[in-house]
Structure 1
Amino acid sequence: MTTDLEFVDTQVHYWQPSANDWYPTLRSRPALYRDILPGDFPPVAGHVHVSAVTAPRAFLDETRWLDRMRHDTGLPTAIVGTIDPAASFEMIEADLLAQAESPAFRGIRVFSGLDPAADTTLELFRLLAEHDWIFDLIARLADVASYLPVIEKSPGTTFVLEHAGWPDGEEPGQFRQWREGIARLAAFENIDCKISGLGMALGTMDPQRLRPWVETCLELFGVDRCFFGSNFPVDSVAGTYAELITAYREITAPLSEGDRHKVFAANARRRYRLPG
């Protein structure tokens, strides 16, 4: 893949099940349950690796593995880890500090099990703010309302809405409800939008089908609070990496050169504190 646009990919997953059996939920998906390493991606300006382990407490080993890889290959450029939301706050804090031993650590996402109304969640968000760590937010439409109160109480925490709010489908009613949901999140200035995962959600890399979702994110969050991610290898179910980047390029063609640079690279560098 070649492009004249610098691209920082803010959502990639490496895994090596041949050596590290940290991904039991992937076993039912043989197309994905194979080694995926930095050399399997086209060259881009940087990778933000987002944890995808599902084996209990494997995230600590994953971060150490990624940090060794970073020393050897230069990738990933940044690491988004995770925690066990069922653990005590004391253990959560210890796990965060352990992951932060990697200079590439930038924050966490929690794939499931986090109760937005729990006192521990508010404590977690305050701790993240104290250390300038990011919370990559998984908030599907059904989750948005429950997250709003704790986000409002966490003005110092930086949130990144992952996968453009996880669209449920392309029907007009689904699109309208999705738009209404992410508009409520976009009202908070401490939330950025990661435009990623659309191939997984919609099953296509067709730029005309992706366009309404991308343009809505840019409209509601603005070009200063959006950036792109590939979600590869997961989004490979819908097409190739090159097809996805071509779609992003086509959809953003009406933007100025400066605004395109923001959403392809500059915003990601700023938010994830990347070199360059």
Structure 2
Amino acid sequence: MATDLEFVDSHVHYWQPSVNDWYAALRSRPIYRDILPCDFPAGSGHVHVSAVSSPRWAIEESRWLERVRQDTGLPSAIIGTIDPAAPFAAIERDLRIQAQSPAFRGVRVFSGLDPAADTARRLLRLLADQSQVFDLIARQADLTSYLPLVERSPDTVVVLEHAGWPDPSEPGFRPWREVITSFAAFGNVDCKISGLGMALGTTDPERLRPYVETCLELFGIDRCMFASNFPVDSVAGTYDDLIAAYRHITSPLGAEAQHKLFAANARRRYRLLN
């Protein structure tokens, strides 16, 4: 992989199932092995995003990550999670505990959050009050249901994960473009260009290009960032292949734009410690 440009990887997962079996949903997959900072190419920073199979493990994971950070200097920022079925007082408590880590920057909720429910509205309000980020994870078919929530939460920083998790089936491209066009209209929403290997099953830059270029067109250079989603995206190819594809697609943009997309925007949005 070319190393002439800084890369802050704004979406990685560490896990250590040999010690902490918190990821039951991954047990049957080849990636269910210890993945630690040393398993990534040397870079300029990582944003770790929680992938525990049950939110009941969020506190234990946050404490483990803080120990990893103290030992290795990584991750540079942490996106945790909460249990959307818990009483809101418990959600507030869990956020306070996770925020004991200086690297904590917000949450994503992988499943179970009803965007029309009062819990979702209160969660985004709480995150705004605490200057934390809401990483929005939803498949393309479910994204539209989040639009009213985001519209009612203009003070909350929202990062749309995995470029809106496009469905590559025909005629999938047009509906995907339409829904992320709606998100791009909200000035508080950034787009994390990640997970395309997972969604499309390839790291071929020509297959990724229309999705990457659409995100850049709609959100603009200042509101997009690249990420690997590794080890999950390893189903499509190597880490080097994926990052090389992003670099190839964006090579005509020039050094300043590439620096924003590969490093500066993630560093600013997640307030990286290093």
* Superposed pair shares fold, TM > 0.5: yes
Matched residue SS, 1:263:
helix
CA contact (8 A) 2:103 2:273 kept: no
Deviation at 1:9, TM superposition (A): 0.2
Matched residue SS, 1:252:
helix
Letter in 1 for 2:59: L
Structure 1 stretches of at least 4 aligned residues deviating more than 3 Å after TM superposition: none
1:126 aligns with 2:108: no
Distance, in Å, in 1 between the alignment partners of 2:100 and 2:205 is 40
Deviation at 1:254, TM superposition (A): 1.0
Deviation at 1:56, TM superposition (A): 4.8
* Alignment-derived partner of residue 243 in structure 1: 241
Matched residue SS, 2:125:
helix
Distance, in Å, in 2 between the alignment partners of 1:55 and 1:121 is 18
* Alignment-derived partner of residue 160 in structure 2: 161
Stretches of structure 1 lacking an aligned partner (at least 5 in a row): none
Deviation at 1:149, TM superposition (A): 1.2
Q: RMSD of the TM alignment (CA)? A: 1.0
Matches within 5 A, 1:10-21: 10-21=10-21
The normalised TM-score by structure 2 is 0.98
Distance, in Å, in 2 between the alignment partners of 1:41 and 1:141 is 29
Stretches of structure 2 lacking an aligned partner (at least 5 in a row): none
Higher mean alpha-carbon deviation, 135-144 vs 248-257, is at 135-144
Letter in 2 for 1:255: L
Greater relative CO (CA pairs within 8 A, separation 6+): 2
The normalised TM-score by structure 1 is 0.97
Aligned residues: 274
Matches within 5 A, 1:65-76: 65-76=64-75
Matched residue SS, 2:221:
coil
CA contact (8 A) 1:144 1:185 kept: no
CA contact (8 A) 1:23 1:52 kept: yes
* Alignment-derived partner of residue 9 in structure 1: 9
Deviation at 1:152, TM superposition (A): 1.1
Change beyond 3 A, Cα 1:67–1:16: same
Letter in 1 for 2:220: G
Which string of whole-angstrom CA distances, capped at 9 and with x for unpartnered residues, describes residues 178-220 of structure 1?
1001001110000000000000000000001100000000000
Deviation at 1:32, TM superposition (A): 1.1
Identity %: 71
* Alignment-derived partner of residue 47 in structure 2: 48
